[in-house]
Chains A and B, each alone.
Chain A
């Protein structure tokens, strides 16, 4: 029947008791209503008129659920994943481009001194800044030294379907990049390999061996410095704008750094 179908639809994914209670309550109501000899069209009409309120109720319930569990909304999770977990491999790739640039400048035959020496040094220093920034950012999400009593987590951390789909999509893109890159472009090949490595590392982090859980206290004092270092470290790649790929990757990294607020940073996996 339409009413039950609709109730099942809008209670899907809600915490067990809220959805089940609503379904049971509507079941009872339907029974009483049918007992009065009401035609089916009247019952369906009553359901249809309540759809806006049902949708609002579902939104409120989901919001309450997220607030209670501390989970981020779908968009926030997507943003956190896109900007935290995934910009790290891109940043590493930017670092690789920086090093290649430094080497290219150093070995170039018709370069003029002192640029041939100073240029690579500056670029390598900026690359070091980028990697240091990444390291600081990673440390800002590590458990604090003094933490509450550690507990052993279950061996498999639940991974949401949305995240699984994200991993699979990225893995597919990475494999495609490797295949296309092997035929024509070193950049695409490198990007594909690094993305695949990132996917594998993250998948391992989420479903691997038992982990010790401790209270997470982000070391926020280093986060701002880390962001500055990462952005500064992307400058050489931005300077290679004519190669397009390094500059695009650098922009992705900068967008990730700037777009990541404290809340998403705290909750993100990376």
Chain B
């Protein structure tokens, strides 16, 4: 199915909504796995979003200017004994786009209700 120009896919709306939730929780930056977890919890889904699907969507949103990203400082990751995270943050354009998508009927049938703050 070909998407309409400017229209957001359900997964993209879910990601951006989770980004807004993260902002509300005063933790504006999130990483891939935390988004997958947030979407799973919100949808009460049995499985996490697949790697390929999730990171392709994140890349698309970043290219479109709806998200921005940076790599966290290596010292932080080393202190926690884990690989570095790529941290995403929703942009003003992204917030406006998801608000518009939620307001119109272009929004997906599920997983886009702004939920409680993301953990």
Residues of A with Cβ closer than 8 Å to B?
3, 7, 21-22, 24-29, 31-33, 35-36, 42, 45-57
- How extensive is the interface on chain B, given as a class? 20 to 34
Which of A27, A35, A50 contacts B52, CB < 8 Å? A50
Q: What is the minimal beta-carbon distance from A53 to any residue of chain B, in angstroms?
A: 3
B82 neighbours in A (Cβ, 8 Å): 28, 31-32, 35
In the complex, the number of residue pairs spanning A and B with C-beta atoms less than 8 Å apart equals 75
The answer to whether B31 and A28 touch across the interface, beta carbons within 8 angstroms, is: yes
The answer to whether A47 and B83 touch across the interface, beta carbons within 8 angstroms, is: no
A57 neighbours in B (Cβ, 8 Å): 52, 55-56, 59
CB of B53 within 8 Å of the partner chain:
yes
B56 neighbours in A (Cβ, 8 Å): 50, 53-54, 56-57
Q: What is the minimal beta-carbon distance from A65 to any residue of chain B, in angstroms?
A: 14
B51 neighbours in A (Cβ, 8 Å): 3, 7, 26, 29, 46-47, 50, 54
Q: Chain A interface secondary structure, helix, strand, loop or mixed?
A: helix
Instruction: Report the separation of the CA atoms of residues A26 and B51 in the bound assembly, to the nearest whole angstrom.
Output: 7
- Against A, the Cβ 8 Å flags (1 = close, 0 = not) of B57-97 are 00100000000000100000000001111100000000000
Q: What is the minimal beta-carbon distance from A260 to any residue of chain B, in angstroms?
A: 33
The answer to whether A28 and B33 touch across the interface, beta carbons within 8 angstroms, is: yes
B3-41 at interface with A (beta carbon < 8 Å):
31-34, 36-37
Residue of B nearest to A57 (CB): B56
The answer to whether B32 and A25 touch across the interface, beta carbons within 8 angstroms, is: yes
- Write 26 A-B pairs (CB below 8 A) sorted by A numbering: A21-B86, A22-B55, A24-B84, A25-B32, A28-B31, A28-B32, A28-B83, A28-B86, A29-B32, A29-B36, A29-B51, A31-B83, A45-B47, A46-B48, A46-B49, A49-B47, A49-B50, A49-B52, A50-B51, A50-B53, A53-B56, A54-B51, A54-B52, A55-B52, A57-B52, A57-B55
A50 neighbours in B (Cβ, 8 Å): 50-56
The answer to whether A32 and B33 touch across the interface, beta carbons within 8 angstroms, is: yes
B54 neighbours in A (Cβ, 8 Å): 50
B31 neighbours in A (Cβ, 8 Å): 28-29, 32
Instruction: Report the separation of the CA atoms of residues A57 and B56 in the bound assembly, to the nearest whole angstrom.
Output: 6
The answer to whether A46 and B47 touch across the interface, beta carbons within 8 angstroms, is: yes
Which of B37, B49, B85 contacts A28, CB < 8 Å? B85
The answer to whether B48 and A33 touch across the interface, beta carbons within 8 angstroms, is: yes
Q: What is the minimal beta-carbon distance from B102 to any residue of chain A, in angstroms?
A: 24
Which of B37, B53, B71 contacts A53, CB < 8 Å? B53
Instruction: Report the separation of the CA atoms of residues A55 and B52 in the bound assembly, to the nearest whole angstrom.
Output: 8
Most buried by A among B37, B52, B82, B83: B52
